[in-house]
Amino acid sequence: MIPSYYILKGPYCLLWRLAGWLGRRPAVAAYCAVPMDAALLRPVLKHLPEMPVIVKNRRTARYARSLGMTVRFWPVFPDAVIMCRHAAHLFPCESIARIGFRHGAYTFKSFAGAKYYNAFDAYFLTGREELERAVKHGIRTARAVGFPKLDPAFDGTWTREKLEPLRRKLGLDPEKPTVIFTATWDRSGMSAVDRWILAIPGLTDRYNLLATVHPWTSGRYVRPLRRMKGVRFIEDPDTLPYLLLADVLVGDSSSIIAEFCGLDKPIVTFLIPDSRRSVPHVRDMLDRISLRIDSADELPAAIAAALENPEKQRAARAEAARRMFDRLDGKAGIRAAETILEMLPGLGDKKVQSS
């Protein structure tokens, strides 16, 4: 645990016991550190009894409320907590059941230390292959359920008709293909935002351009993207509908590539030097599922090739999706909810709610 765990533990546990004596402990709550967490957990929470969402800032509170969630500011003292961050230290009482989810699909970065996962009673991963590697890494709490964030792409939530208002709102030209650019955190050593941002101005006449970057991306990239003519910079915490609108993705080592692969659409990726958190099998997978380029000069031709022959790497994408997600059936959130109800006997008499 990080040092703040030991600082918080005494006073938090005292207040946790007091909340129990006063009958003010929620049976279960969800913790959302940032707005994206609420979007990620929504496909799970909608299948569970209603619970408060715990936040630490007003921006996350506003977004969670916009989704119809009941918001409470931390500290809150639940009997069990669900989250998609390694934030178990904020709920330091050993009697609290902790349930964790990945906030990005699959292991596009190497696992953090096993102790961070083992601080949870259960930590949900996206597939059985990932589970096998987690066990080898010393993670004892891992379970495979799929990736709930992708459920709305397969359960009827997002259809062509339902996407049309968003397409119009963005002002996408129906005569042009749509390209979405994405990047992981620029300070991770695994990002290509510094390369593809240079190529965007030369592409605006041919394509509708969308861009989404890691929430921690430096302002020196975010500010120009917000101002760039012909680019729709995505600040919506839920990126899935934008991925569904896109015809091709340009990326680096961001896990959003896994989501786009699951949607079976062509991908272009920049070659990234190995770093401390590089994962060799992910690099090999990217070689198979995407057109690989090294410089911005190669980008126009690569996008054109991807659009001209989107079937070229379809078999490789299908195999990668199977390995990453087991199956994409729109029911990962239900599987997770069923497991959570089994783990929490106090909720066991309440059936999983259908959407």
- Strand arrangement, sheet containing 29-31: 70-73, 52-55, 29-31, 80-83, 97-101, 122-125, 142-144
Residue type at position 111: F
pLDDT for 245-283, tens place per residue?
999 999 999 999 999 999 999 999 999 887 777 788 889
- Cis previous bond, 75, omega within 30: yes
Q: What separation in angstroms does the CA of 103 have from each of 150, 209, 268, 346?
A: 12, 25, 23, 27
pLDDT, residue 349, reads 54
Q: Is the domain defined by 3-151+330-347 classed in CATH 2.60.120.560?
A: no
Report the C-alpha gap between 312 and 126 in whole angstroms: 26
- Note the pLDDT of residue 189: 85
Q: Where are the alpha helices (DSSP H) in 152-192?
A: 160-170
Tell me the whole-structure pTM to 2 decimals: 0.93
- The pLDDT score that the predictor gives to residue 284 is 94
User: For residue 108, which of 183, 158, 180 has the smallest C-alpha distance?
Assistant: 183
Helices H / strands E in the chain, number of each? 14, 13
pLDDT tens readout for residues 71-115: 999 999 999 999 999 999 999 999 999 999 998 898 888 888 999
Which residues of the chain are under the pLDDT cut of 50?
350-355
Longest CA span, the chain: 66
Output the pLDDT for position 109. 81
- Residue intervals in the chain for CATH 3.40.50.2000: 3-151+330-347, 160-325
Cα 301 to Cα 232, 292, 306: the distances in Å are: 22, 11, 9
Q: In terms of CATH, what superfamily is 160-325?
A: Glycogen Phosphorylase B; (3.40.50.2000)
pLDDT at res. 276: 72
In the prediction, which pLDDT does 240 show? 98
pLDDT for res 324: 95
